[in-house]
Chains A and B, each alone.
Chain A
Amino acid sequence: MYQVRLWTNRHARAMERLYNIFNPIILRLLRGTSKIFGHSLDKPVTLIEKATKSLFFDCQMCGNCVLSKTGMSCPMNCPKTIRNGPCGGVRANGMCEVKPKMRCVWVDAWEGSAKMKYGDEIKQVQFSVDHRQSGLSSWLKAARDE
């Protein structure tokens, strides 16, 4: 939802704090359940992740989540799916070149990052998404990669 997404971006600092509290808890939980149930809970976990992140960030389930490094603004909502934005076409009023009614995702990303404690992470170069991960859970990936 566009309005909610703008709200979470405006409150990037608070979202970051929530993220830093909940992320380790979620990951620990998932690591535990993964050990016991293997892959059998992947579907519901993915659905929960999708529901939460869609509500707050208009998540597109790219499976390569970088929200904490992009000012809590999901780069997959950029019509060009730029991972190191913005492009050079941003309108003077900060709106998107392609969708004039939408704020440029990357203008929001830099603004959100400026509010965050670890906002400088936006300066790291991100490589493009691995399209094989599309639709898969970033939470499960993070829990199992560790």
Chain B
Amino acid sequence: MNKVQDIVHPGDSVRILPGHVSHGRFERVLRAGHFAVTTEIAPPDSCDPEEVLKRARVFDGYVDAINATDGSGAHCHMSSLAVCAILTRFGYSPIIQISCRDRNRIAIQGDLLGAAALGVCNALSLTGDDVTAGDHPDAKPVFDLDSVSLLQTLKILRDEKRFLSGRPLESAPDLFLGSTINPFVPPVRNRVDQLAKKIEAGAQYIQSQYCFDIEMLKSFMKRAVDDGLTQNCFILIGVGVLASARTARWLRENVPGVHIPDIIISRLEGAEDQKTEGRNICVELMQQIKEIVGVSGIHVMAYRQEKYVAEVVRKSGVLAGRQPWAFNRLENDLRNK
């Protein structure tokens, strides 16, 4: 049996550059100046680890990191920590999402130490949807911290090597810290200020909400670049694969914070094959986003469309010939050693 020390660090194949805080491949790819691609895994409603692996393998060779969602939409699924722990065992580079909805500062700090112990290198701080959005609306909402104070907390754990209480840690979790931003909903003007606050609190990368409105994104990014915010933080922009005009409408009306302009919906409606058109839209958006100054990567959210992630990434050409880590490749590398 392998010793704990033998766990493969997901970044081992990429060089560490100055300024790194984690062992992770995701941070290395970004710091090397590559255009990064991340995606999201939907945690299963089961306790079968094979299911997690199966869901991750569809992304092999196309993404640099995989977000494990934390009770997204306030629905209960396998925990983000467990999904990450399974993924790190196989060399994947997961991003643990931490929502403030379900746990207080004691639980969160403990989980993050545990995550780092299990080989997780990246954390994403979120406020989280309210309990009323999910299937347990009768639950007690916690919200002890918010996404910004959670970032502060993680930064204290890592950089000051102590708990919030001041009690020292024997070893600190080397986590690459990130958070989210939604430049597409009010107060649009202040979203850049909010980005600045998140960076001040400790965010080193940002994954945005779905972008379907390039003009809004351009003006947001311009202000972020002008304010110097992209110098200390990598910005990854979220894109989505829409299955049909109906799904687009449903998303817009039912999922908080999703902004889809009418023009996208009418384009889907006018298409012969809406499913293919949805993917075309995604590909075009990715290509346009890559050209925007200050953008460091793409975050593909394709809930129930995961099998198309590889296709849209390939067609968009955003990887510019680079091939991210794949499960099999690592196995082969080890065998050839």
Which A residues fall within an 8 A CB radius of B? Answer: 79-94, 97-98, 104, 106-107, 110-111, 122-123, 125-128, 131
Contact = CB atoms under 8 A, between A and B. Distances in A.
A77 to B, nearest CB: 13
Interface of B: 100-101, 105, 127-130, 132-133, 141, 143-149, 152, 180-182, 185-187, 189-190, 193-194, 196-197, 200-201, 209, 256-257, 259
B130 A97 contact: yes
A84 to B, nearest CB: 4
A125 B141 contact: no
B194 A84 contact: yes
A87 B127 contact: yes
B148 A125 contact: yes
A59 to B, nearest CB: 18
Given A104-B186, A123-B193, A128-B145, A90 B257 contact: yes
Given A88-B180, A97-B256, A123-B197, A82 B144 contact: no
B256 A92 contact: no
List of 4 A-B pairs having minimum Cβ-Cβ separation, nearest first: A89-B256, A88-B182, A84-B148, A97-B256
A125 B190 contact: no
A86 B143 contact: no
Contacts of A79: 130, 141
A93 B188 CA distance: 12
A80 B149 contact: no
20 contacts: A80-B127, A80-B141, A81-B146, A84-B146, A84-B147, A84-B201, A86-B186, A88-B127, A88-B181, A88-B182, A89-B182, A97-B129, A97-B257, A110-B189, A111-B187, A123-B193, A125-B148, A125-B152, A125-B201, A126-B148
Given A88-B181, A123-B197, A83 B186 contact: no
Nearest to A104: B186
Residue from A86, A87, A93, A126 with most neighbouring chain B CB atoms (10 Å): A87
A82 B187 contact: no
A123 B259 contact: no
B48 to A, nearest CB: 32
Contacts of A93: 186
Contacts of A128: 105, 144-146, 149
A81 B130 CA distance: 11
Given A80-B101, A93-B186, A131-B144, 15 more contacts: A80-B130, A83-B146, A84-B146, A84-B148, A88-B256, A89-B130, A90-B187, A91-B185, A91-B186, A91-B256, A97-B130, A111-B187, A123-B193, A126-B148, A128-B105
B257 A125 contact: no
B25 to A, nearest CB: 27
A131 B106 CA distance: 13
A106 B319 CA distance: 38
Contacts of B197: 84, 123, 125
A122 B148 CA distance: 13
B63 to A, nearest CB: 22
Contacts of A86: 186-187, 194
A89 B147 CA distance: 13
A2 to B, nearest CB: 19
B185 A88 contact: yes
A81 B187 CA distance: 18
Contacts of A83: 146, 148-149
Contacts of A122: 193
Given A88-B181, A88-B257, A110 B187 contact: yes
Contacts of B146: 80-85, 128
Contacts of B190: 110
Given A80-B141, A88-B127, A125 B200 contact: yes
Residue in A79, A91, A106, A128 whose Cβ sees the most chain B Cβ within 10 Å: A128
B149 A92 contact: no
Contact of B143 (A81, A88, A90, A91): A81
